[in-house]
Amino acid sequence: MLFNSAFLLAMPGGSEWIFIVLAVLIMFGGRKIPEFMKGLGKGIREFNDAKSNVKKEIEEGMQEKDKPASQA
What is the span of the domain harbouring residue 49? Answer: 30-64
When divided into structural domains, the chain yields a total of 1
Contacts of 64 (CB under 8 A, 6+ apart): 72
Contacts of 28 (CB under 8 A, 6+ apart): 36
In tens, the pLDDT along 44-65 reads 999 999 999 999 999 998 888 7
Structural domain contains residue 34? yes
In tens, the pLDDT along 10-55 reads 777 888 889 988 888 888 888 888 888 899 999 999 999 999 999 9
Whether the pTM exceeds 0.85: the reply is no
